Copies of this chain bind each other. A is one copy, B any other.
Amino acid sequence: MHRFYFITDRKKFKKPFLDTIKEALDKGVRLIQIREKDLSDDELYDLTDKVLEVSKGYDAKIFINSRVDIAYMLGLDGVHLTSRSVPVSVVKRKFPDLIVGKSCHSVEDILKAQEEGADYVFISPIFEVEGKGKPIGIEGLKEVLEVAKVPVYALGGINNSNIEEVLKTGVYGIAGIRFFL
């Protein structure tokens, strides 16, 4: 279960935010990315601090989307960057203790992220997800895994009926929002 990476989206949660985090932890999730883009900095800081509190004793790794400063100030394990974030290479140089992940959507993205020093990558979407562009499919995932030198998490449209074929590719882990709700 340590290879499941939970990305938060509180608007989709059925229960209060921290209850959902606790539940994911109790189910065995050990990788959590806080991704709540509409919060102000102070709200995001406070919420992240509470997630740290709730996850104490679980030996989980806590990440935050894009906000390197909040990751560093609260002593999180890492930060997850996207194509709209600050550069991976600069984060790695200036914050050497942070684990840095990067969202990728192609083999080219993966090669670039690795070169810049990303510690892990997401590849998405594997399957059809509304508004997330052309899915790369299982074959596309296999091509990615051939060039990837860092852990790859498959993301996008993965559910109980297709997870088997995703795992069969040998992918390092599975990332998702709805998967753990």
Q: Which residues of A contact B (CB under 8 A)?
A: 40-43, 45, 66-70, 72-73, 83-87, 90-91, 94
Contact = CB atoms under 8 A, between A and B. Distances in A.
Nearest to A44: B86
B94 A40 contact: no
A91 B66 contact: no
A49 to B, nearest CB: 10
Main SS at interface, chain A? helix
Contacts of A45: 86-87
B73 A42 contact: no
**A72, A86, A91: residue with the most chain B Cβ atoms closer than 10 Å:** A86
A90 B42 CA distance: 12
A94 B70 CA distance: 11
Contacts of A70: 86
Contacts of A94: 72-73
A158 to B, nearest CB: 27
A90 B66 contact: no
Contacts of A41: 66, 84-86
B68 A90 contact: no
B69 A67 contact: yes
